[in-house]
Structure 1
Amino acid sequence: MALITISGFPSSGKSRRAGQLKTYLENRLQDPSYSGPQLKVIVISDHTLNIDRAVYGDGRQEKPARAALFTTMQRQMGKDAIVIVDAMNYIKGFRYQMYCAAREHSLRVCTVFVAATPDLSREWNAARDAQDAYPSEILENLIVRFEEPSSMVRWDSPLFTVDRTDDDVPGEQIWTAITSGVVKPPNAGTSKAAVAPTDALHTLEHTSAAMVTEIMSQQSANPGMGGVATLPLSDSLRPKITLPLRNITLSELQRMKRQFVTIHKKAITLGTTEKGSVDWSEASVADKFVTYMEENLKP
C-alpha cells in the first residue's frame, strides 16, 4: 500500500518519530470514518532485526546489515501494509533502491526527515545506555557521511521534515500522501524481466528442428521448389514460408537454426525486457523462425 522512509542522523529521535507515526496511522485506520481496505502498519528497524550499532564501523559488516534491512522491507511490502523503515537511510543511493522496490510493488512513497543538529545527536547519544549508544568514532563518521534527503529528487518526494521542536509528526499530511498520492508505475529500469515458461527451451529447439526437417523433406520431393511453402508441423500448426528458387542445403538450414536458438535462448534463461507477457508457444516460435529464415535467405 505504501512505503515510508525515515531518515536522519544517528541518535536524532527517528525511532520516537516512527512510533508517533505508527500510532497516528493505526488510529486513523481504526477510526469509524475510515472505509478503506484493512491495513497493517509495520515498522522495520535495526532494533527489530537485532543489528548491532558496531556494524556501521566496518563496511564488510554494514553491507550485509543493510541488505537484511532491504530484504525484510521487500518481504513486508504489499497492498495490505504500510511499511515504515526506521533507520538512518543516510545513503541517497540506498533510498533510491528502496524507492525502486516500492515502484515495482506499485506502492505510494514518502520520506520523513528527522532534523537535528550534530551537537544534539551527540548529546542524545551520550545519554543512552551503553548497549544502545553508537561508539563516538562511528557516530562522527556517520554524521560526516550523511546525505540529507531533498524534495528536489523523486525518490525523496514527497518529503516531510520534522524538527526537534515539533511535538508530533505531520500525520495528516503523511496520511494524505500515502492514501491519495500518485502511484508511479515501474519504469524500464525497475520492471522485472518477463519469465519464460519452463518448456520454452524445448519448444524452441523442437519447433525449429521440425521446420528444418519439413523443408528438407519438401525439397527432396520437389527439387528446386521456391515461392510460398506450407510446413505441416501438426494438424493445427501449418506455418507458411517464402523460399528462394533454389535448393537450400541441410548445413545452411542447421546453421540458421543454431543461430536462431542461440539468439532466443538468452531471453528464455535470463528473462526478456519486452513489455507484457512474451509468447513462447509453438506457433509463436514458428512465426519467429519463419521471419528469421526469410531475412537470411534473401538473395
Structure 2
Amino acid sequence: MCLSISTRTSTMALITFSGYPSSGKTRRANQLKEHLDRRLADPPYNDLRQTVAILSDDSLNVDRSSYKGTVPVLFPSLSNDVVDSRSEKLARATLFAAIQRQISPNTILIVDALNYIKGFRYQLYCAAREFKLRVCTVYVVATPELCKRWNIERLDDRGYSPETLDNLIARYEEPSSMVRWDSPLFTVPWSESDVPIELIWKAITEGNVKPPNAGTQAVPKAPSDALHTLEQVSTSLVRAIMAEQGASGVLGGHVALSLSETLKLQVTLPARSLTLSELQRMRRQFVTVQKKAITLGTVEKGMVDWSEEGVAQRFVDYLEENLRG
C-alpha cells in the first residue's frame, strides 16, 4: 500500500523560466522554490525525499559576455562588438548538460536562464519527455526599459553590457501557449507580486506525462558479432535446404532443418526444385536488408534479435514470403 501511495504522489518536473535579461527571472524562480519547498514539507510528500533545485548561469559560472552572439542587421552600430557565437552555444550546452545530470526521479528542476531561443526550449522539452517529466514554462514579462534600468541597478556585478542587453532583447523569441514545448505556459508580469503557485503546482503534480518520441530515444546498438552471425546462419540455412532437398528427393512442403545440435527449425518450401543460385540470391537480398538493421539498431517498430535463433527465424520467414508460388 505504501508503494502505491509513493508512486502516485512522487513528482518530478522540469520548469523552464524564460524572459528578457534582467527581467526578474531569478526573483520569480526563488519565489517558486520557496512555495514548492513548503508544499513538499507537508504530507504526503514529506516522507518521499522530494527536492527542488534551481539551475542558472550563475550557479554554473557562465559569464554574461557569453551571450553577445551575432548582432542582428537591425543594429549595425553594434557591429564592432560582434564576437563569435560559439561562446553562446557553449553556454547553452553547459546548461543543457547540467540539466541532464541533475534530473532525478524525485526532483523538481527549475531552469532559471534566458531560454530565449525556441529551439533550445524545444530541446529541453524533448529531454523532459525522454525522462518522463511533467513540464511547464514560466514567462517573466518586463518592458525593455525596465530591464535596462534593473540591469544598471544590479549590485552583484553580473549585469549585461548595454550592447549585449539590446542584442538579446532584439533576438528574444517569445514563448507561446500554442506550441507544445512551451505549454502549459504561465505569464508573470512585473506588476504581479508573486508567481501563480496553484496553477504551477497543479501542472507539475497532475499534468500529463508524455511518452518519449522516437526522436528522443537512444537507438539500441546491434552486438559486435551481429554481421558474423548473419552471414554464418544464412549460409548454413541455404546449405541445409539444399542438402535436405537432395537427400529426400521431396519437392516442397514442410521441411525440418537442423543447423546445429541446439538450432532446429522448420521451413515451408514451394512444390518445385530450388536451385543454389536462387537461394543464394535470396540470401544476399536478406543480408542486405539486415545490414541496415545492424546500422540503425531497429527494424520497423521492434528491436532486432541478433541471436542465431532470431536470425535463422527471420531468414526462414523471408524465404517463405519470397518463394511462394
Q: Same fold (TM over 0.5)?
A: yes
Contact 1:194–1:276 at 8 Å: present in 2 too?
no
In the alignment, does 2:86 pair up with 1:75? Answer: no
Q: Which amino acid aligns with 1:23?
A: E
Deviation of 1:147 (Å) = 1.2
| Structure 1 partner of 2:130 | 104
* Cα deviation digits, residues 35-56 of structure 1 (max 9, x gap): 5732222211111222111121
Where in structure 2 are the equivalents of 1:161-240 lying within 5 Å? 161-197=187-223, 199-222=225-248, 225-240=251-266
| Structure 2 partner of 1:6 | 17
| Structure 2 partner of 1:287 | 313
| Structure 1 partner of 2:283 | 257
| Structure 2 partner of 1:46 | 57
Deviation of 1:262 (Å) = 2.6
SS in 1 for 2:55: strand
**Quick one: distance in 1 between partners of 2:128 and 2:235?**
43
Q: Which amino acid aligns with 1:229?
A: V
| Structure 1 partner of 2:275 | 248
Deviation of 1:139 (Å) = 1.0
**Quick one: distance in 1 between partners of 2:64 and 2:99?**
19
**Quick one: distance in 1 between partners of 2:322 and 2:302?**
28
**Quick one: distance in 2 between partners of 1:206 and 1:53?**
59
Alignment equivalent of 2:139, drawn from 81, 98, 113? 113
Relative to 1, partners in 2 of residues 1:276 and 1:83: Cα closer, same or farther, differing over 3 Å?
farther
Relative to 1, partners in 2 of residues 1:76 and 1:205: Cα closer, same or farther, differing over 3 Å?
farther
Q: Which amino acid aligns with 1:39?
A: Q
**Quick one: distance in 2 between partners of 1:247 and 1:276?**
32
Q: Which amino acid aligns with 2:29?
A: A
Q: Which amino acid aligns with 2:106?
A: D
**Quick one: distance in 2 between partners of 1:16 and 1:201?**
57
* Cα deviation digits, residues 219-248 of structure 1 (max 9, x gap): 443467433322112344322223341242
* Cα deviation digits, residues 164-212 of structure 1 (max 9, x gap): 1222222232122111111112233434434445554443333222212
| Structure 2 partner of 1:19 | 30
**Quick one: distance in 1 between partners of 2:116 and 2:299?**
32
Relative to 1, partners in 2 of residues 1:190 and 1:132: Cα closer, same or farther, differing over 3 Å?
same
Relative to 1, partners in 2 of residues 1:24 and 1:154: Cα closer, same or farther, differing over 3 Å?
same
Contact 2:188–2:195 at 8 Å: present in 1 too?
yes
In the alignment, does 2:149 pair up with 1:123? Answer: yes
| Structure 1 partner of 2:3 | none
**Quick one: distance in 1 between partners of 2:168 and 2:55?**
20
The alignment's TM-score, normalised by the length of structure 2, stands at 0.83
* Cα deviation digits, residues 56-85 of structure 1 (max 9, x gap): 123222112212211221222231211111
SS in 1 for 2:178: coil
Q: What is the total number of aligned residue pairs between the two structures?
A: 298
Relative to 1, partners in 2 of residues 1:273 and 1:132: Cα closer, same or farther, differing over 3 Å?
farther
Q: Which amino acid aligns with 2:36?
A: L
Identity %: 60
Gaps of 5+ in 2: 1-11, 70-84
